[in-house]
Each structure stands twice: as C-alpha cells, then as structure tokens.
Amino acid sequence: EFVLQESSDEIEAMQPLQMYFPPSEYKKKIKISTRCYIAGALETLLSDLNPPLTKRERSWFETHPQFKHILHMPRDKNHKLQGMWMLLLRTACTEKEKEAWFVVNGVPIRYSIKEHALISGLDCHNYPVEFAGSGSQMGKMDFVDKYFKKG
C-alpha cells in the first residue's frame, strides 16, 4: 500500500522583497467611487461618439469574440470596486513589466495578460488581419486617432 507522506522540504513560493503600499495603508477605511462606468463607456462607444462608428466598426465590436459578450451583457450602473481595492493593496514590487503580482494570505499570485484573458474572456491575441499594420508595425492606429484625439 502506497502512502503519500508530506515532506518537510515542501516548496514554498518566494516572497516579495517589498510591497507597493506600506502597512499603514491596510487599515484605512475608504469609500471607493469612480466616474468611469462600464455602462457609460459602452453607451459612448455605441451611441455618442463623434464621428459615430461606421457600420463595419460597430459590427466588428458586436460580433468579435473579444467584445461581443461584453456588449450583450446587462449594463449595471453600480459596479462595486472594493474587491479590486483589496487586491491592489496587496501588490508586490517586481521588476517584471508585463506581470502584476499580488500577495494574498502569504501566497504570491501572478496577473498577466494570460490571466486577464482567462478571467475577462477577452481575446488577447493578434489583431485581425484587416486591422493589422504592415511590416514590423503591430497595429494601425487609425481607429485610435479617429476617436481618441488629444485635446
């Protein structure tokens, strides 16, 4: 009979050298609010842009796997952000630019584009061919330039 025994040499995750926020921040009581509402952002995207989306652009947002589930969800005007705040308080300092690390109950947790794709359902892959740039350019900025002008 095989019995699995726990080893005294269990592998433990390496702890971060420091956290972004000092311990004094953890006990503060705050009321979190934001003026950036998902429902408002979607309303702007679909109805209030100047110039408005073309039929082709709107169709792309409504049918592409990356956005269609967001655009067809009920629009709740009161999303709560307390969970995000509690997670941000536990952000660990690292030298990695493409990952965020949080320490929850002593366990380091990675949050990168891979985890974001899994949690959000967003398609975090290459641009569709018709929106991709040529050569070494990753993507055209025509859409951004058209709708997100500076000033």
- The answer to whether residues 83 and 112 belong to one domain is yes
- Tokens at 15, concatenated: 């702890």
Domain residues for the domain of 111 are: 78-123
- The answer to whether residues 105 and 93 belong to one domain is yes
- Within-domain flag for 137: no
H or E element: which one contains 66? none
pLDDT in tens, 95-129: 877 788 888 777 888 888 777 777 666 667 666 66
Task: For residue 112, list its beta bridge partners.
Answer: 99
Residue 9: the pLDDT is 52
pLDDT above 50: residue 3: no
Residue 84: the pLDDT is 67
Residue type, 12: E
Instruction: Tell me the backbone φ, ψ of residue 99, rounded to 5 degrees.
Output: -140, 145
- The answer to whether residues 93 and 105 belong to one domain is yes
- The answer to whether residues 86 and 112 belong to one domain is yes
Residue 94: the pLDDT is 79
- Within-domain flag for 148: no
Q: In the chain, pLDDT over 90 holds for what percent of residues?
A: 0
Taking residues 4-30, report their average pLDDT: 61
Cα separation, 33 vs 30, whole angstroms? 9
Residue located via tokens 């380091």: 108
- Within-domain flag for 61: yes
- Within-domain flag for 65: yes
Count how many domains the chain has: 2
Cα separation, 150 vs 11, whole angstroms? 50
- Within-domain flag for 51: yes
Residue located via tokens 């655009």: 71
